[in-house]
Structure 1
Amino acid sequence: MYFVHIIKNHQGLFYKGFTQNLDKRIFEHNNNLSRFTSGKSPWILVYFKEFETKTEALK
């Protein structure tokens, strides 16, 4: 399964992405383990949707 997710930080910045492990990915965003979101945490999950395949998620 793949997840498309949107997160938001306290400055009002949004980030969208996709992953196979949503909990791990949110952890990475909040612990400066993601290049774009590093130093801009905390991030909160505002939306996600699950897809069967990577192709569906990327559409």
Structure 2
Amino acid sequence: MLKKTEAGRTVASIAELANFQVKADTRTEALTVIQALVSNRLKNVELLPLAASLKQFD
């Protein structure tokens, strides 16, 4: 998520990941920093698909 503060700064965050929020002077800088955080967090992670069946309630 990206949002502008009243001071004109940009806040980039990923709600599903704890502590993934940065504040920067520009949108580009915010995106660059948040992408670096995600890349660093995932560099030693193996992502696997997970099949799940969902029960439908009537």
Q: TM-score, normalised by structure 2?
A: 0.33
> Whose Rg is larger?
2
Greater relative contact order structure (CA < 8 Å, 6+ sep): 1
Greater fraction strand: 1
